[in-house]
Amino acid sequence: MSTPQQPPGETGAMDPRPLDEMRGYVGRELLAGKVALVTGGDSGIGRAVCVAFAKEGADVAFTYLSEDADARHTADLVQAEGHRCVRLKGDLALPDFCIEVVERTVNQLGRLDVLVNNVAEQQPFDKPEDIDDHQWLHTFDVNVHSYFRVIRAALPHLGEGSAIVNTGSVNGVRGNPSLLTYSVTKGAVHVLTFSLARALVDRGIRVNCVAPGPVWTPLIPATMPKEKVEQFGSQVPMGRPADPDEIAPSYVFFASPLSSYYTGEVLSPNGGEIFPG
């Protein structure tokens, strides 16, 4: 069982270790010559996406908060595919860093074609009245405000054929009483996706969202009590959480020409759970 740790958590303390290196994935040069920026790319879904993009031919920049060992490993995996990788350490809750990550990506890699907003904060609470203003506002700063701020900074560098992929959640559709702040922010991400897709369609920039069900990432043992970690993912029809490797292909689809007629869509790899409504 994973060792309890402080959020956002590190991969090395997880038991079992997640499958997040895309070892069996074979790319088809779907992103050849492209540059991608992935927020929250050091571990979990973000790591798998970075590696998948590299296997598809892209150079990759990614952000991370403080997990240096995880970030180095992700960069090593990208570079092992023969592609450049830029690590961007800092807190995306801060508006200036949201601008900085775009500028550094373009300055060091020359361009920007694909933006993946994936960074996330979550904290469980037993009762709504236990959520103080700091936690409420900080969750929005990370999960919603950073998405818009990074997108706004990226738009001057994006054009016809570019893609934005946001990470939502099944919790943003059906809600989750113990993850109230997280669920509300993910609902906001879904609507942000719908609205931006309409706003940017005339520029040829597609905006879509991946809304996973339970995924075994460092954020889970770092934010949930032991008893919930032990049962994590058992509620879905498949009876288990996904590994990040199972989620990353959805991002490849939305980032690549395979989804040229898709914008404003939410794709939910969730182990068989049916969305309400």
- 3-class SS of residue 235: coil
- 3-class SS of residue 57: coil
* Pick from 135, 115, 92, 132: nearest CA to 31: 115
Catalytic residue among 25, 64, 147, 182: 182
Whole-angstrom distance, CA of residue 109 vs CA of residue 91: 21
- The reply to whether 262 belongs to the active site is no
* Pick from 57, 61, 50: nearest CA to 30: 57
3-state secondary structure 154-189: HHHHCCCCCEEEEECCCHHHHCCHHHHHHHHHHHHH
Whole-angstrom distance, CA of residue 126 vs CA of residue 104: 40
Confirm if 58 and 34 have CB atoms less than 8 A apart.
yes
> CA 160 → CA 157, 163, 202, 229, 271, distances in Å?
10, 9, 9, 43, 34
Q: What is the DSSP string of 193-217?
A: HHHHHHHHGGGT-EEEEE--S-B--
Whole-angstrom distance, CA of residue 68 vs CA of residue 54: 20
Confirm if 52 and 251 have CB atoms less than 8 A apart.
yes
- Give catalytic residue positions: 182
